[in-house]
Amino acid sequence: MALHLPSELSVALVTDDSSLPDLAQIMVAADFYFEGRYYYGTILGLTDAIGKVRVTQAQILERFREAQLGGIMDYKIPLERCDENATIRIPGGGDFRLSQILVPGSANISSWAQDIWARAKNVDLAPATAPVVLDMPRKEAVVTVPIRRGISGHGFWRRLTSA
Q: What angle do CA 37, 97, 102 make, to 5 degrees?
A: 80
pLDDT tens for residues 105-151? 777 788 899 999 999 999 989 999 999 999 999 999 999 999 999 86
Distance, in Å, from the CA atom of 55 to the CA atom of 63, rounded to the nearest integer, reads 11
Distance, in Å, from the CA atom of 87 to the CA atom of 108, rounded to the nearest integer, reads 23
Closest by alpha carbon to 49, among 28, 23, 11?
Answer: 23
Q: How many whole angstroms from its chain centre is CA 90?
A: 6
What integer best gives the mean pLDDT of the chain? 89
Q: Are 42 and 89 in contact (CB under 8 A)?
A: no
pLDDT tens for residues 73-115? 788 999 999 999 999 999 998 888 888 888 887 777 888 999 9
This prediction has a pTM of: 0.88
